[in-house]
Structure 1
Amino acid sequence: MVEFKSEASLASMREAGRVVATALAEVERAAAVGVSLLELDRVAHEVLRAAGASSPFLGYRPSFAPVPFPAVICASVNDVVVHGIPDGYRLRDGDLVSIDCGAVLDGWAGDAAVSFTIGTARPEDSELIAATRRALEAGIAAAVVGNRIGDVAHAIGSVAREAGYGLPEGFGGHGIGRRMHEEPDVPNEGRPGRGFPLKPGLVLAIEPMLTAGGKDEHATDPDGWTIRTVDGSRAAHVEHTVAITEAGPRILTLP
């Protein structure tokens, strides 16, 4: 069932979104050569605690997962596309890092992700991240009243394909509100004019994931969570929580 949010609900979701934005900014600020992924998780955890928010990631266990997710961020490095579990890995110069974070505040959820490089960036990584951000911007621009989910998906996919990147099959965004994952699904590729109609009060987590090798296939680690590229190529992931309004798309996870 799709829930349409009131202005009061959107205001509450904006506050949850601010917490997510702060957590992501603090994690990116702390990320440096020699810092472990577990240390980054602790940074985000402290931001949520200070704001009185909880994590929709910690303890989350969908049907595919053999164990509940054990952290408040997904920390995906280099060839990991999404759902990387923070561990003792210490960041190295040139790593490409994607951090996904959520927060629940006063019963409303926010969800966003960023990708960045550590130390000296490889030009091809910078190009991949830039294309992923462009895909997100295109998806957000298409999230207007009168369009459909397929228009958002087509906008994202067009940017990715024109740049020669892959889109992991079966992964994309989702509705969001009182729960982190709500209907409808938001694919990262699709046909314009198709799918669920966009109406005021609908809130979507739009999240392109692009792979440098151009392949759509992915592999899952034995932990049941970590998703990797099949060819070892690098991946980037960015995301915002976006409300559909009569005045146009409203990003709820900006700082």
Structure 2
Amino acid sequence: MTLRVTVWGENRHEQIEEDVARRYPDGMHATIADGIRENLGETCVVRTATLDQPEHGLTEDVLAATDVLTWWGHAAHGEVADEVVERVHRHVLSGMGLVVLHSGHWSKIFMKLMGTSCTLRWRDEHDRELIWTVDPTHPIAQGVPHPIVIDEDEMYGEFFDIPAPDELVFVSSFSGGEVFRSGCTFRRGHGKIFYFRPGDQAYPTYHHKDVRRVIANGVAWAKTDRPDRSAPELLRYETGEFFDGRGYQGALK
């Protein structure tokens, strides 16, 4: 079956910073989408959505037709409407995959799903990053070198205030000696989530072939195996009702 992907990008730096516009003339979201198509080919259909579109491009119809959503935001987390965040959250719990990139760690949707501050240490000094695979058997790690070398990017360091990941796929080290849990998976409800660290707007990271491969692998992994999208539901069962329950209306109903 075709994998339906929506690549969401804030698309603000590209509009106001000339160097970012030169680096990503069609927007970071377009470059990320191209990397997914490049690696997954005809197995996927990729669309893009941005902050300034009506409902941020994430309408109920769009999300219902999305198997995996990728998310990049940085300068305008606060402008994302709470109504849209609730909608995305509901779809993730119902089985839509989510791949959160770089500074998306501080997005409303990631913080809501993690239940923590998601804060970290950072430094923007043209650091070399080495991304080390700590779980070489994981599908997200397939086909990438050990380590992935990124000549220049922003540094993220521990402590990273997230829950303990279900799986730790990558850790990064930087020229200042810092380390960071840079590739983490989580499960929330019926949805699978992958967080991947690289990708500050000041660097050409999303043109890097190995970063593009990891993102594509993450998208393929995050697609649910469930045949239907539905949120976990509390049902009441009577003795002998092994398969059929009825909706729970509350303690006093």
Bigger-Rg structure (1/2): 2
When normalised by structure 2's length, the TM-score is 0.27
Q: Greater strand share, 1 or 2?
A: 2
When normalised by structure 1's length, the TM-score is 0.27
Q: Greater helix share, 1 or 2?
A: 2
The higher relative CO (CA closer than 8 Å, separation ≥ 6) is in: 1
